[in-house]
Amino acid sequence: MVRWKHRIGPGKGRKDDKIRHAKAPSERFFNRELSQLAFNERVLALAERIDVPLAERLRFICIVSSNLDEFFEIRVSGLIDEMRDEAGTSSGWGPQATQWEHYLEISARAQRLVEKQYALFNHVLMPLLARRGIVVISHARRTPAQRAWVREYFEAEVRPLLAPIGLDPSHPFPQVMNKAMNFIVALEGKDAYGRVAATAILKVPRALPRVIALPPRLAPGQQAFVMLTSVIRAHLADVFPGRSVAGFSQFRVTRDSDLWVDEREVKNLRQAMRVELTQRHFGNPLRLEVLRTCPPQLELMLREQFQLPNEAVFRVEGPVNLVRMNQLVDQVSQPQLRWPTFVPAWPAKVTPSAGEADLFDAMRRGDILLHHPFESFEPVIEFLRQAALDPKVVAIRMTLYRTGTASVVVDLLVDAARRGKDVTVIVELKARFDEEANINLAERLEAVGAQVVYGVVGLKTHAKMLLVLRREEAPGKRGAPRSRLVHYAHVGTGNYHPTTSKLYTDFGMLTADAALCADIERVFTHLTSQNRLPKLVHLWVAPFTLHKRVLAAIAREASIARAGKPGRIVAKMNALIDEATVDALYAASRAGVKIDLIVRGACSLRPGVKGLSDNISVRSIVGRFLEHHRIYYFRNGGADDVYLSSADWMGRNLFRRIEIAWPVLNSKLKQRVIDEGLLPYLTDTTNAWTLGPDGEYRPPRPRKHGYSAQGALLQQLAAVT
């Protein structure tokens, strides 16, 4: 039995443990979009905290902007598609009853979030950075020497890339790409042909940095920067000689970026995805960002051009697109303004020197659990490297969802294929915003003879699996050696992405367990052949068994609690949305099961409602690292079942993706998962927000000596410098 140092007593049971389905859905479930915005409010709160290093506070401002971009591109676009479908038109929106009211609520909350974000940026963080000698200098505040340098930079680097477009019947409003920065300019005077061209559009070159460092000699004792948009704004008159600039504004349009390909109709998915990607930049407009000082007539022109309602316009005070301020954070030279650096640990069973570790031998001695980013992702890379180089390895199977554009993982797979090994890679071409990178890596793998498979029609392959088949000698019946294929595997809750493995919390496991490896091999065979998936010993696989097994495990805890014994569920994930799973948790709560949920992002479950969810608590951990583990714990009468998974409890994961959950079988590793992946987060008093039955998240109370799960794990597992 595992050890818990946290309350595990039974909950308050009820004789009638059936959910009253007469309750309206809004009473049983929180709205997903509003819950997602609430998560971004929690991220923004990190930018307010004085215990967070100053440069990192600015980075959280940037993260919120990036998250909001994706929120509109994907989540809001789906809602607007529903409204357009009901209106029977492909452009323009209209008030479509509930959807329109829902959109207004989302827009108002997003507007408040952005307003708070810019207030924090302008009035708190930038003044604090200035006190530390890190300044962004506007045109009005530049010295003559700085203005001279900016002019030289403009003439040499910027002007050659500018292509202003004066609007007239032969020059209609240009195509504006998704999230591209532009200027709209009101002009007075006549052009070279004696015509009045009142408006022009000027695209800001993407090839140039948005945050430009000034030479140190021009700002002694400071680290000074200028914004590219400020450089252009200061020289707008030079871009339109002979005319005067009567008004201007930066503007940026966010478009629908959700790709759609009918996989049942296309003959070549990769080719179809390439075609679809060319259209992504010009999807339906969803949001317009302009400067608060934008002249009303220019804003109206933009709204009419993009057919957007007033609620879709975000008027900001400061740089449009704060995501680009990441470039300033990356250039900050004062290390004390960043998080302390740390060196991820290697597991004790493996020598920390990559070239000395025989991972096959280590895995034969027992499973190896890796806890990222506190422990290094390098053992996974080393496992693949040794597999690529080892002449005894005959085959490698792997799933790739996100790897990055320059991936050592792909390099090693290419090397393995060149060495004559049988390499099969399941590449997910539909990994959102990584589609092009994955198409390129798929083509690279095919070029060296690797077998590339694009998964199952209609499903995304989100499971993280790596299987190695190695020919080894073993004693025969009469002692004579005989050859056999031995399986080794890695499974994980996160992607095969060395960069994000330093930023996301995830568990991975290296294993030579015969039954588990056999299950993994059967899943790979299913993905390549698309034959029926046979019965598995250990793995739960979506969309076939994972949802059923989760519901069954929850129901079992409810039955145990009804019998008067302790029922206990602890689960950690990114999002909890699936209604059937939420209803099952409600039923378990009413039966007396004690349930603790650690849900980083969107959560539709309403905790602490009398007669519905009395025994359920929900908390969200938002800190330095992005919480990404998926852990399911069921007490099961003292058996203490612990599963790690690639899947959140969402409809898309449970029904529209290939996902896996696997049991942690070794008792010591099971205890480690609880001690490192659950208990610290249940006792966190620094980064834990508590969800109330009203849908509001309560922030952690300020404490002189608070406990941070992430901080404790860094101290426990990594070397902090």
Q: Is the Cβ–Cβ distance between 508 and 372 less than 8 Å?
A: yes
> What per-residue confidence (pLDDT) applies to 17?
40
The helix/strand count (H/E) of the chain reads as 23, 29
Give me the mean pLDDT over the 369-396 stretch: 96
> What per-residue confidence (pLDDT) applies to 8?
46
pLDDT digits (tens, 9 = 90+) for 530-577: 899 999 999 999 999 999 999 999 999 999 999 999 999 999 999 999
> What is the radius of gyration, based on Cα positions, of the chain?
28
Q: Is the Cβ–Cβ distance between 596 and 660 less than 8 Å?
A: no
pLDDT-wise least confident of 269-273, 565-569, 705-709: 269-273
> What per-residue confidence (pLDDT) applies to 611?
94
Residue 44's closest CA among 125, 104, 108?
125
> What per-residue confidence (pLDDT) applies to 16?
42
- Rounded to the nearest 10 degrees, how much is the dihedral formed by the CA atoms of 316, 318, 319, 320? 0
> What per-residue confidence (pLDDT) applies to 83?
75
Tell how far CA 338 is from the center of its chain.
Answer: 22
Q: How confident is the model at residue 473 (pLDDT cuts 50, 70, 90)?
A: confident
Q: What average pLDDT does the chain have?
A: 90
Is the domain covering 33-337 a CATH 3.30.1840.10 domain?
yes
Give me the mean pLDDT over the 33-52 stretch: 97
H runs (alpha helix) in 320-427? 326-331, 359-364, 378-389, 408-418
Q: Where are the domains of the chain?
A: 25-30+541-720, 33-337, 346-532
For a pLDDT cut of 70, what percent of the chain falls above it? 88
What is 25-30+541-720's CATH superfamily?
Answer: Endonuclease Chain A (3.30.870.10)
Cβ contacts of 29 within 8 Å, gap of 6 or more = 579, 582, 604, 605, 606
Q: Is the Cβ–Cβ distance between 654 and 543 less than 8 Å?
A: yes
**Is-cis flag, bond preceding 373, omega within 30?**
yes
> What per-residue confidence (pLDDT) applies to 23?
46
In angstroms, rounded to a whole number, what is the distance separating the alpha carbons of residues 327 and 486? 48
**698 bridge partner residues:** 690
Give me the mean pLDDT over the 247-267 stretch: 77
> What per-residue confidence (pLDDT) applies to 710?
97
Torsion sign, CA atoms 383, 512, 496, 416:
positive
pLDDT digits (tens, 9 = 90+) for 634-661: 999 999 999 999 999 999 999 999 999 9
* pLDDT at 317 exceeding the cut of 60: yes
pLDDT digits (tens, 9 = 90+) for 497-537: 999 999 999 999 999 999 999 999 999 999 999 899 999 99
> What per-residue confidence (pLDDT) applies to 356?
56
In angstroms, rounded to a whole number, what is the distance separating the alpha carbons of residues 617 and 689? 11
> What per-residue confidence (pLDDT) applies to 257?
81
> What per-residue confidence (pLDDT) applies to 262?
56
Q: How confident is the model at residue 446 (pLDDT cuts 50, 70, 90)?
A: very high
Residue 640's closest CA among 615, 666, 614?
666
pTM: 0.91
> What per-residue confidence (pLDDT) applies to 228?
97
Residue 395's closest CA among 498, 528, 534, 535?
528
Instruction: Check for a shared fold between 25-30+541-720 and 346-532.
Output: yes
Give me the mean pLDDT over the 362-384 stretch: 96
- Active-site amino acid positions: 462
Q: How confident is the model at residue 20 (pLDDT cuts 50, 70, 90)?
A: very low
Q: How far is CA 521 from CA 104, 185, 255, in A?
A: 49, 61, 41
| Complete DSSP assignment for 172-201 | PPPP--TT-EEEEEEEESB-TTS-B--EEE
Q: How confident is the model at residue 701 (pLDDT cuts 50, 70, 90)?
A: confident
Q: How confident is the model at residue 435 (pLDDT cuts 50, 70, 90)?
A: confident
The hierarchical CATH code for the domain 346-532 is: 3.30.870.10
Residue 427's closest CA among 412, 445, 405, 414?
445
> What per-residue confidence (pLDDT) applies to 18?
38
